[in-house]
Every structure is written in C-alpha cells, then in structure tokens.
Amino acid sequence: MASDLTLEEVVESMYKEVASVQGRKKLKPMDLQKMIYERFSDRADKRTCKKLGKEAIKELINSGRCVYSYYGGSFIELPPAEGVDK
Amino acid sequence: MSDTPLLDELEKGPWPSFVKEIKMAAKNSAMSQDLLDLLEKSYRDKIGYWKHGGIVGVMGYGGGVIGRYVAIPEQYPNVRHFHTIRVNQPAGWYYSTDALRAICDMWDEHGSGLTNMHGSTGDLVLLGTTTEELEPIFDELIKLEFDIGGSGSDVRTPSCCLGKSRCEWACFDTMEVCHKITMQYQDELHRPAFPYKWKFKFSGCPNDCVAAIARADISFIGTWRDDIQQDDAAVAEYAKTLNILRDVVERCPSRCMEWNGDKLTIDNDNCVHCMHCINAMPKALAPGKDRGCSILMGAKAPIIEGAMLSSMMIPFVKIDEEEDYEAVCEIVEEIWDIWSDEGKNRERIGEFIERVGKSNFLEAIGLEPIPEMVAHPRDNPYIFFEQEED
C-alpha cells in the first residue's frame, strides 16, 4: 500500500496517547505500535506502521518529550514534573 | 566505622567476602559506609529496605541503568540513590589492565567504588551511584570506548565464552558472532520494545561455559557432525593412569563406547555430544572437524515462573558463514515480530512457546518440525489428526 503517513503525524499521535493516559495507565512500546496500526491502518500497511512507530518512539525519547520507565517491565511515559525519584 | 556484628560473621572462614570489600570501600566512600550500615540493619530487622525501578537512565537509552532507592533515606542519606549501571563487557571478557584501571578510577570518582565482576548476564556491573552522576558516567564510559548494556524488556547484553581465542574445542567463533549480534542489534539492546527480556548466549562447545542452555532465550552451542577425533596412542597413555572403563565408558550417557583394555571404540552415530569423554581425556579425544552450532530456545531462570531449559530448534548450522548467519538473523527477527505482537507482558519466549504450542510457533516462524525438536515423549495419549487438503 502506498502511504502518505508521515513520521511527524505518528510522533504527535503517540505523544498525545502517552499524555492522555499519564498517571492512569502505563503503556509499553508495543502498545503504542499497535495503537498506531489501529489508528492508521487505512493509510499504511502493518509493516509501514511498525517502521514509523519504531522511529517515532526513538524521536520521542531522543527529544526528551518521553522517557522510558521500568516497573517490572519497560514502559514509555512523560518525563516526571519533579525529581526523578519522586 | 560502626559496629556490624552480623555482617562480621560473613567475613569468617577461608572464602572471599563481599563484606570485606564493602568495608575497604567504606574507608573512602560515605556511600559504601551507609550501604554497610543499611545492610546490617536489614540483617537485624530481617527486612530489605531497597526500592527498585522507576524513571532513571541516560538520554536516549531505555536500558542499562537499574534505579535503586532506599526506603528510609532520612536514616541513610548517602544511599538515597544507589543505582546500578550495567556496562557491556568485551566479548570473552578480555580487558587490558589499563581499561580496568580507567573504569575503576572513573567509578571511584562518580560512584561507590563497588563493582560486580560480572553479573549473571555477563555485564560488568557498577554498583551504586546517584541520578545526577548518570550522564557524566555515560560520557566517561563512551570516552573509554565502553557502552552501557541491556536491562528491562530489551535484548540483554549478549555474552559468549572465549571460544577460538583460547579453546581448541570451540566449534564456531563465539566472540565474532557475539560481537556481530551485539553491533547489529544495538537498537533492540538500548530501546526496550519486547514483552520481556531476550538473552543471546554463545558457547563454543557443549560444555557450555556461559550456561546458555539454562539462561538464554536463544542459545548457540557449538557442536560437530562427524566423528570424535581420536588419538589411539594418547588413549593408551591415559590407560596407564585412568580407569577408562569405570571413569569414561560407564559414564557415557548413551553407552556408545567400548573399551576392551586395549582399544577404545566409539559408536559415533549414537554419541549425544555430552563432552564427558573429551573432558576426561583431552589429549586423546577432541570434537570432530565438521563443526558448527546448534540453536536452542526457551531457557530462563526462575523469576516469575519456574526455571526452564532450552530445547532444540536448529540442530546444526554453520553460523560462521555469512549466508547462514543472515538466515539465523531472519529467523530471530521473525520470532521477535510474533512474540512482540502476541506475547503477554513479562512472558519469556520459552513461556510463550509453551502457551501457544510448539507446533503453532514453528508454523508461525516458518520452521519445519523435525524429530530433534522433541524435548520429551508426549504424556497425552490423545492425538488430533488434521485432514490434509489435496
């Protein structure tokens, strides 16, 4: 499937999802990848969504807009507002 | 120095003691002193005071730093943070003394000075630092040409035995393959994206010096396809000092050897490559010349569920050759795709295979079932036949 889905769209979609559940639910990277496919399956195939999803996570982490956390498994969330050990 | 009567007990006896090491570090480190006092309190109260996890790491990485905090920081302020850093060890654990000194100097400056050489996955482990020191430590490690290892739901730092660099029994170049895999999967090592951890381990022969068969999600264990190499003159030499019948032949698990007091005969078709005879008579016997590795999957130590041993997936592959190496990587990536899509949180690949069934798993990754994959005889007498379509 030819796709017009851009990395920027995926990044913003992921960021909004992470922000919307912050403090209520913890999302794993794979939850975000699946969410992207569900949201954009009419515009891109699974392979493209997966590739863009992976790049989007990298972008969110490298830019500091999101961080990894560990609570028995690895999750992605917004950086803490206060000290890191709060 | 405060009193630590309970910990002092652990210094007694002829063995090395971690208490002794922490006491030495405590002479120059307030962090190590608080660690010692906290540990004594834990032993006295029979309570662990550590908290684990949270948000801690270096920019861009999702693994390699394990956040640890003390539950009573007001009493032990110097171990308020006591994070662990895993450093990716060199293949085969070869270091120059200069490199080790540089790491230790860096750690004396930025951390507690305490290390664990090495963790069970293989990493060089730096024990105890604060969140503020993490980025400076990372910068220093990069300058020393080291990188952080894996933690969390990612590819854990791959490890291998020293293989062909020192061991004549190595059936493939463990260090080369381990290094290639480490470099190829940097993204998966530093960015957790799996349901749970994934461990690669490479052992050059069935002695399995890195315990791959018991620990790794995917084990590469050296093996051979032809006959054991045998030097009859050297066997005769062993016969002068070794009871070959009792200590070698009768301990062969598949009973594939005979000794008539003069000549050792091996039925190689029935040899299961346990290495016992080769270990007992290393100057007389050696692995065959047609060497490669077996690939097994599914081991884990007991954390969430009980321990699991690996089971066979690919009995023989020449992974030193580029074409076979790439084919194996394709299978690994196929497995990751399926496991990532269908695996439950904190489900290791061995548990995943058990849950979905090996036949379904093999079908999904495109591997043909073969007899070597059977781990044990079936205990369910009911067999479901599928009607094959013409």
- Restricting to B residues 77-106, those with a Cβ less than 8 Å away from any Cβ of A are 80-81
Binary contact (B63, A54; C-beta < 8 A)? no
Interchain CB distance below 8 Å, B345 and A28: yes
DSSP per-residue string spanning B315-331: EEE-TTSHHHHHHHHHH
Residue A85 maps to a domain: no
**Residue A83 has what pLDDT?**
44
pLDDT of the residue at A1:
63
Q: Which residues of B touch A80 (CB under 8 A)?
A: 55
Nearest by CB to residue A74, choosing from B59, B80, B152, is: B152
- B107-111, B210-214, B298-302: the lowest-pLDDT one: B298-302
Q: What is the mean pLDDT of residues B176-186?
A: 97
Instruction: Report the pLDDT value the prediction gives residue B273, as an integer from 0 to 100.
Output: 96
| pLDDT of B44 | 96
Burial of B179 (0-12, 13-18, 19+ CB in 10 A): middle
Which amino acid, one-letter code, is at B4?
T
Of the candidates B62, B154, B346, the beta carbon closest to that of A61 is on: B62
pLDDT at B180 over 70: yes
Q: Which residue has the higher pLDDT, A3 or B260?
A: B260
Q: Is A1 among the domain residues?
A: no
Side-chain-side CA neighbours of B310 within 13 Å: the count stands at 25
Going by pLDDT thresholds of 50, 70 and 90, the confidence category of residue A9 is very high
Could you list the residue range(s) of the whole structural domain that residue A47 is in? Answer: 7-77
- Amino acid A86: pLDDT: 43
Q: What pLDDT score does A73 carry? A: 85
pLDDT at B50 exceeding the cut of 90: yes
Task: Place B54 in a pLDDT band, splitting at 50, 70 and 90.
Answer: confident
Higher pLDDT, B54 or B268: B268
Predicted pLDDT of residue B377 = 75
Structure confidence at residue A22 (pLDDT): 92
Domain parsing of chain B, residue ranges: 5-143, 159-223+293-373, 229-286
Total structural domains within chain A: 1
> Residue B389: is its pLDDT beyond 70?
no
pLDDT digits (tens, 9 = 90+) for A18-75: 999 998 999 999 999 999 999 999 999 988 999 999 999 999 999 999 999 988 888 9
Answer yes or no: is A63 within a domain.
Answer: yes
Residue in chain A lying closest to B337 (CA): A50
CB distance B53–A72 less than 8 Å? yes
pLDDT of residue B385: 72
**Does the domain formed by B229-286 have CATH 1.10.3720.10?**
no
Residue A30 lies in a domain: yes
Whether the pLDDT of residue B312 is over 70: the answer is: yes
- Structure confidence at residue A81 (pLDDT): 65
Of A68, A72, A79, the CB nearest to B62: A68
Q: Cβ of B130 under 8 Å from any chain A Cβ?
A: no
CATH of the domain at A47: 1.10.10
Interface with B, mutate which of A14, A37, A58, A74 (most B CBs under 10 A): A74
Q: How far apart are CA A10 and CA B306, in angstroms?
A: 39
Q: What is the 3-state secondary structure (H, E, C) of B344-379?
A: CCCCCHHHHHHHHCHHHHHHHHCCCCCHHHCCCCCC
Cα distance from B192 to chain A (closest Cα, Å)? 6
What kind of architecture, by CATH, is found in domain B5-143?
A: 2-Layer Sandwich (3.30)
Q: In a 3-state reduction of DSSP, which class is residue B51?
A: strand
pLDDT the model gives residue B1: 53
Which of these ranges, B149-158, B234-243, B374-383, has the smallest mean pLDDT?
B374-383
pLDDT at A85 over 50: no
Taking residues B44-48, report their average pLDDT. 96
> Is residue A65 included in any domain, yes or no?
yes
User: Are residues B55 and A80, on separate chains, in Cβ contact within 8 Å?
Assistant: yes
Q: Which two tokens stand for residue B343?
A: 């695996």
Tokens 């006896």 correspond to B13
> Looking at residues B182-189, what average pLDDT do you find?
96
Could you give the ipTM of this predicted complex?
0.85
Q: What fold is seen in the domain B159-223+293-373?
A: Sulfite Reductase Hemoprotein; domain 1 (3.30.413)
Query: What does the pLDDT look like over B212-250, one tens digit per residue?
Result: 999 999 999 999 999 999 999 999 999 999 999 999 999
Query: Residue A83: inside a domain, yes or no?
Result: no
Are B5-143 and B229-286 in the same CATH fold? Answer: yes
B54: nearest CB among A28, A61, A70: A70
How many residue pairs from chains A and B have C-beta atoms closer than 8 A?
Answer: 77
In the predicted model, what is the mean pLDDT of chain B? Answer: 94
